[in-house]
Structure 1
Amino acid sequence: MSNIVVSGYYGSKNAGDEAMLAAMIEVLSELDPQTNITVISANPPDTKRRHGVEAVSWLSLSEIWKALRASDLLVSGGGSLLQNVTSRRSLYYYMAIIVLAFLARRPVMLYAQGIGPIEGFWARTMMRLVGNGVRLITVRDHGSLAELADMGICRPKIVETADPVLAINPVSKDAGWQVLQWNGVTDGKPLVGISVREWKGWQRYKEAFAETADRIAVEFGADIVFLPMQYPEDVKTAETIASMMKQEAVILDGEFSTAELLSLVGNMDLLLSIRLHALIFAGVMGVPLVGVSYDPKIDRFLDSIGEAPAAKLATITADELMAEVRRKWEARETFREKNAALLKGLRKLSFQNAELAVEILRGLQPEKEAGGKNY
């Protein structure tokens, strides 16, 4: 039996990160059913209940050290852990976990990471030292490759793959439709999903989303449904936007599992999103999507499927957002088929993350049988 410790932004009620973890567990378990996974989590009981794995507190150094000492591999990822734009402290935290693994003489894999932006001489220097000490790096986009090269990280094997969530299997739309019915949605009207987040206290983008939602409701006769990816923060932002609208909107005020969110997104005729993993959920479920960029990870994902953001969050207008919505709406089936073909290739790349992790574990088997490890 192999033991893996997973480090990431887990246990914080972020649907995108929980989906990444669910996908990682699903694929790793499929490749090696004997793998035992322990997650470093902000909420160990929730992680155990939600994912059926062992979990230790992200604040307990002793628990983390014990888990690392009992492990065969530290997996750091997936997601945008190694950046200091949204939080300066988190970069050092995730690097510190990697350094602990070094001290425990355990190999480290950076798993489907979205690298950067990393700003500042010392942060980039520390990242170069840490990055060059790991066993393997997989990144989810081409921009991350460029960021690694710019920092001088070149010693480990580096492979461009895709976001872990793209390996997850589509689900039935039934559970999502039931939730929508409970929230007053009836059959007969098209559904347009909107996934938003709070960002720097800005107001302008909320006004643009409100105006766009009103225009979609009137022009296409659609029901507007706000889908929360981070609970309850996204609900509050959705409520602010809905209060600016003239038309009625449905706000899903609840914490949903990965499967429930996939099912909900699958019921949409179009998804408009600031959130990366809402866009990825749309791709998995075959729903045409419109992305708005607030971070390079949005641009990088959209580029991977041959698209570009409809707007930048800092300069967004309802007119430019509506222009892209119309373009996608008028050719929904064409975009659905195009995205499905591209995402099929990305799914294979996403699966490769787990295959490479299992390769590391299999390479350690002779060392384990000999009674020791040699890193």
Structure 2
Amino acid sequence: MDTTGRKSFLLFGYLGGRNLGDDAMLSGFFSAAPEKTDFVVLARDKDEVKIPTNRTVKVLAANFFEAMKQIIRSDGVIRVGGTSFHDEYKIKSNLRMKCNYAKLMFMYLLPWLLRKKIAAIGIGAGTPLHWWTKFTATLSFRACRLIIARDRASARILNNLTGGHNVLAGVDLAFLDERDLCNRTMPGVIGVSVLDLSPFMTIGYGSQLDFWEEVIKRTAERSAGKELRIFAFKDNDSESDLIIAKELERRMGGLFDQVSVVGYADGLERILNDMSACDTFVATRYHSAIFASLMGMKMVIVPYNEKLLHLVDDLAISPEAVIDLGHWSRTQELGAFEPTYVNPARANDLPVRVSDMRHAIAKFFA
């Protein structure tokens, strides 16, 4: 704990994992957090964490002993975005799942025992099905002084787990990022964020490529598309969007005047700049949908994960813009869809929730 009068907080989550969405959430967090506060970030790869130049931040490699040491030294602990304690993906080892969730629970319970301030900000939640998931999630979240959910559906689940204990329905932290996300639309430019859908659809790899090709063709027909920009938001050892992006670049080369791939290594600023020129955007990665909505462009949603459907609800996106993955899995045919303009400023109570979230974060640090 600092003796100079400046408080220090430990940040953890899916940080330093070469994922532009996680970078955007951390950037959004720093835009809302007080400047006269020090932070320590636990990261998978400390060289991949993007820190604003006006911040005093120490980045350390995440491991159990470092986490324990930093919890003891800090004034508080904050989970920054992401989804934790969920049963959405099959885990090869039940013992591995229990160990992972036990370590995650430790990140909440140790600071609680030491009477530190604990918050989970901009997090998502799925309904826990396994008893161990529910047990660890309930104990962890009840230790928090503040919980801000990234969408209303997650807020309902977290309220059920905690009995309504300090849960606020907020927004994803990327919505708090203060950078200018203007739309420089160039007619005929189609953008698509891709990922390997095979873990989420009962189809083979070849059929998945057929799916992407059909989605892009159909979108281009509706928008007189002449240029295709393929975005790979995630690129790490366990999951890389670049593999399928490069394959689609080869496949679609004869259908557009120009096809390009923009990946994680190009940086968030380059990706946002190239996205802003798109006339229509096919959003698969969660944060690509957020960025496209903030730019006010026409969108199509590929909801590989339930969190995208929660975002569709929060942004009041027309169901016509949502592609039915289940229909393709069953029939190998693409159902009807229509690109739709999105304006977050008019989406339900989202602007109010942004304001409430900033106020709650400021109050937590006070």
> Same fold per TM (> 0.5)?
yes
Q: Which residue of 1 aligns with 2:357?
A: 353
Secondary structure at 2:171's aligned position in 1?
Answer: coil
- How much does 1:122 deviate? 1.8
1:247 aligned partner: 255
Shift of 1:146: 2.6
Alignment partner of 2:338 out of 308, 315, 324: 324
Change (3 A) 1:254 1:224: same
Match of 1:168 in 2: 177
Corresponding residue for 2:314?
A: 304
How far residue 48 of structure 1 moved from its aligned partner, in angstroms, is 6.0
Quote the offset at 1:47 in angstroms. 1.7
Residue 94 of structure 2 corresponds to which residue in structure 1?
none
Say which is worse superposed, 206-215 or 106-115, in terms of deviation: 206-215
Alignment partners' CA distance in 2, 1:124 and 1:238: 36
Q: Judge conservation of contact 1:271–1:290 (CA < 8 Å) in 2.
A: yes
Please tell me the root mean square deviation across aligned C-alpha atoms, in Å.
2.8
2:77 aligns with one of 51, 74, 79:
74
Equivalent position amino acid for 2:347 in 1 = L
Unmatched 5+ stretches in structure 1: 178-186, 329-334, 363-375
Residue equivalent to 2:230: 226
Shift of residue 354, structure 1, vs aligned partner: 4.2
How many residues of Structure 1 are paired with residues of Structure 2 in the alignment?
335
Evaluate the alpha carbon distance shift between residue 267 and residue 38 of structure 1 in structure 2; reply closer, same or farther with a 3 A threshold: same
Using a 3 Å threshold, how does the CA distance of structure 1 residues 301 and 64 change in structure 2: closer, same or farther? Answer: same
Correspondence 1:122-271 to 2 at 5 A: 122-151=132-161, 153-154=162-163, 156-171=165-180, 190-201=188-199, 202=203, 203=205, 204-217=207-220, 220-231=224-235, 233-245=240-252, 247-248=255-256, 249-253=259-263, 255-271=265-281
SS of residue matched to 1:293 = coil
1:354/1:256 CA distance change after superposition, 3 Å: farther
Distance (whole Å) between structure 1 residues aligned to residue 8 and residue 186 of structure 2: 50
SS in 2 for 1:324: coil
CA separation in 1, counterparts of 2:102 and 2:351? 31
Q: Percent identity?
A: 19
> What are structure 2's unaligned runs of at least 5 residues?
1-5, 92-96
> Following TM superposition, by how much is the alpha carbon of 1:173 offset from its aligned partner in structure 2, in angstroms?
6.5
C-alpha contact 1:231 1:254 (8 A) present in aligned 2: yes
Residue 111 of structure 1 aligns to a residue whose secondary structure is strand
TM-score, with normalisation over the residues of structure 1?
Answer: 0.80
- Could you state the TM-score of these two structures normalised by the residue count of structure 2? 0.81
Shift of 1:54: 1.3
- Specify which structure has the higher proportion of helix: 1
Match of 1:272 among 277, 282, 298: 282
Other structure's SS at 1:320 match: coil
Decide which of 297, 301, 304 is 1:291's aligned counterpart.
301
* CA shift for structure 1 position 155: 5.7
Q: What is the 5 A alignment of 1:19-98?
A: 19-28=24-33, 32-47=34-49, 53-59=57-63, 61-86=64-89, 89=97, 91-98=101-108
Q: Is the 8 A contact 1:85 1:117 kept in 2?
A: no
What do residues 164-194 of structure 1 show as CA deviations (whole Å, max 9, x unaligned)? 11111243679xx9xxxxxxxxx97521100
SS in 1 for 2:89: coil
1:11-26 correspondence runs (5 A):
11-26=16-31
**2:115 is the counterpart of 1:100:** no
- Compute the displacement of 1:83 (Å): 1.8
Report if the CA contact (8 A) 1:191-1:224 is conserved. yes
> What SS is found at the alignment partner of 1:134?
coil
- Conserved in 2, the CA contact under 8 Å of 1:167 and 1:347? no
Give SS of 2:192's match.
strand
Tell me if structure 2 keeps the 8 A contact 1:5–1:37.
yes
Q: What's the CA shift string for 1:172-223, capped at 9, x where partnerless?
A: 679xx9xxxxxxxxx9752110001113354344312212223444551431
